[in-house]
Chains A and B, each alone.
Chain A
Amino acid sequence: MHEATDRSETTELGTVSEARLLSVLDTAADGIIVIDARGRIMVFNKACEKMFGFPAVQVIGENVKVVMPTEYAVAHDEYIGSYIRTGEKKIIGIGREVHGRHADGTVFPLELSVGEAQTREGRQFIGILRDLRPRKESEQRLAELQSDLVHLARVSAIDEMGAAIAHELNQPLTALMLYLQAIRRAHAKGIDLKAMTGDILDKATGEAERAGHIIQRMRQFVEKRDPVRQLRVLDPLVDDAIELTLLGQRHRIAIGREQEDDLPLVMVDPVQIQQIIVNLVRNAIEAAGQSKHPAVRVATRRTASHVVLEVSDNGPGIAPEALPKLFQAFASSKHRGMGLGLAISRTIAQNHGGDLVVDPGGQGRGACFALSLPIRDDKKAIETDQGGQAHGGAG
């Protein structure tokens, strides 16, 4: 690029090269600014004009601070001075995310990489700039879509369990109705229930509360909410999720539960982690159902770096041909549901810095899914646990 400045070039050739250079600069999609050792703008290409809202003629010769927000502008001259004195590179050849300031005063994120050139006019710095706003927007959009999808999978899980949950709601409603009608009928017949009335009404209230509790459980699970991170003990979350899963089962099954004492805390989104557990336990119950004496085991333990939750069953295991597609979305072998469960569960686990893996079993052994979540070291945990209730109502 610097051939144009070579003294040995003919003037004619120099002009051609210079024209070519200008064309390259103005065609570039990225903003390009060249400054001299004192920070004065020498080149300000078309992309920069658009990005900052200044015409080149207005800023050429000005200090580059005109396109910086105050906090950079104040120190910029010192940065250049310091580099020229010490040769210590803080940005040159590295590139980093900074902020720029538009002519209208708007401050926006930029990716800046800086190169350096020795010319006969002295040292020059070349900055290549990319407006990060479109990327930030698409990142945010992606995060929103992912959160929607995770929510959708929860709704889908409840939907699949719908009939069984309706059954579970029918129990307290039936009892409640019978209790109230018993009083009504006794009254109509002129039977004096005396002290029993209070007792029956208490029982009826208890059944109404039971129905309310079931609905509350489901609502918390499907409620659309922003992802959070809270420092939590895993086991109570596990027990709650198992309870929710069992609500949705027609055939009740005992879940074997093992847990290590004093497991360290994990930084999690409680509802999302429960979503994984509900998913795994439902799958395990379904698989175990194919066995004569269905058994499902849920265990929590720790390794050096992770808290691990294992859900295993005594079903037939996972067929080798089903294994490659197991964690893929929409590849479910089941008739019901969207086939999102395991794909989303793994995504959630990975978003938590953990993972979800499977030991497929087979040949008389059931499958075992293991969810691992990194243990938070205490120092970090204290800093980040802003307002995270260790045992909040959200469980």
Chain B
Amino acid sequence: MAGQGDIFVVDDDPAVRDALSLVMSLEGYHVRSFSDGAAFLAIARQSVPACVILDVHMPGRSGLDILKELEADRYPAPIFIISGQGDIPMAVDAIRHGALDFIEKPFDADTVVERVREAIAAQTQRAGNGAGDLLTAHFPGHDLLTPREREVLVQIANGASNKEAGRKLGISPRTIEVHRARIMEKLGARNAADLVRIVLKDMRA
């Protein structure tokens, strides 16, 4: 049970922070909680946890600001954004800024435990596998993509559905859709087939 890794919980609401810490502690994680972005950033730059759970609504520095400052798209640990319903545009923005996925409030313990566990497992597997061909390949626009977007692209190029890709990467199919749209926009692809053509043609060449 013990020693499953560190989880950082960032939420300005003391009750949510406390309850979330309790649930994750019972799962055997070591939880450190932060009431604001500054305190979190100071620690997160020094030591990387297994996973971060970050509230998007916070006074002062919002969750989004924190993602930017942390350069979350290159941060080695998966970051979950927690947000209320009706904040989808903000959640999408968070994903573009490197959050792994979002969890809608009010959520239950089973959901958050499962999502965190999957994300950590996917992260571990990723580290073990090393990078896929596409992750290092140099197709046009390669530099425009974030590491996560490249991972999603690998899945798409391999013909995975949103659902399959999501399962592989420990994120929801909806989030895969967000990444897919973003990748197509960056690479100037009109549809998925177009996308595969751009990437693979260049790789064969």
Contact = CB atoms under 8 A, between A and B. Distances in A.
Interface of A: 163, 166-167, 170-179, 181-182, 184-186, 189, 191, 200, 203, 206-207, 210, 250-253
Contact of B109 (A185, A191, A252): A185
B15 interface: yes
B91 to A, nearest CB: 13
Given A163-B86, A170-B106, A191-B26, A178 B19 contact: yes
A181 B23 contact: yes
B15 A172 contact: yes
B22 A189 contact: no
Given A163-B86, A166-B84, A203 B108 contact: no
Given A167-B84, A182-B19, A250-B57, A174 B26 contact: no
Contact of A177 (B13, B87, B109): B109
A80 to B, nearest CB: 75
B86 A178 contact: no
A182 B27 CA distance: 10
Contact of B13 (A175, A181, A182): A175
B19 A175 contact: yes
A181 B109 contact: yes
Interface string B1-44: 00000000000010110111011001000000000000000000
Interface string B71-101: 0000000000000111100000000000000
The number of chain B residues touching the other chain, given as a range, is 20 to 34
Given A171-B15, A177-B107, 15 more contacts: A166-B85, A166-B86, A167-B84, A167-B87, A170-B84, A173-B105, A174-B107, A175-B13, A175-B15, A178-B20, A178-B112, A182-B23, A184-B109, A185-B109, A207-B19
29 contacts: A163-B84, A166-B84, A166-B86, A167-B57, A167-B84, A170-B84, A170-B85, A170-B106, A171-B15, A173-B105, A174-B16, A175-B15, A175-B19, A176-B19, A177-B106, A178-B16, A178-B19, A178-B20, A178-B22, A178-B23, A181-B23, A181-B108, A181-B110, A182-B109, A185-B113, A203-B15, A203-B19, A206-B15, A252-B59
Residue of A176, A182, A185, A250 contacting most chain B CB atoms (<10 Å) = A182
Given A166-B84, A178-B20, A251-B59, A171 B108 contact: no
Nearest to A163: B86
Nearest to A199: B22
B43 to A, nearest CB: 23
Nearest to A191: B26
A170 B19 contact: no
Interface of B: 13, 15-16, 18-20, 22-23, 26, 57, 59, 62, 84-87, 105-110, 112-113
Residue of A171, A206, A207 contacting most chain B CB atoms (<10 Å) = A171
A167 B18 CA distance: 18
A178 B108 contact: yes
Contacts of B84: 163, 166-167, 170
Contacts of A176: 19
A192 to B, nearest CB: 12
A203 B26 CA distance: 17
A45 to B, nearest CB: 68
A178 B112 CA distance: 10
A200 B107 CA distance: 18
A207 B15 CA distance: 8
Nearest to B62: A251
A173 B105 CA distance: 9
A100 to B, nearest CB: 61
B59 A174 contact: no
A173 B104 CA distance: 12
Contacts of A163: 84, 86
A340 to B, nearest CB: 24
A209 to B, nearest CB: 11
A186 B109 CA distance: 12
B26 A175 contact: no
Contacts of B57: 167, 250-251
Contacts of B19: 174-176, 178-179, 182, 203, 207
Nearest to A250: B57
Contact of B18 (A166, A175, A177): A175
A182 to B, nearest CB: 5
Nearest to B87: A167
Contacts of A206: 15
Contact of B22 (A166, A170, A174, A182): A182
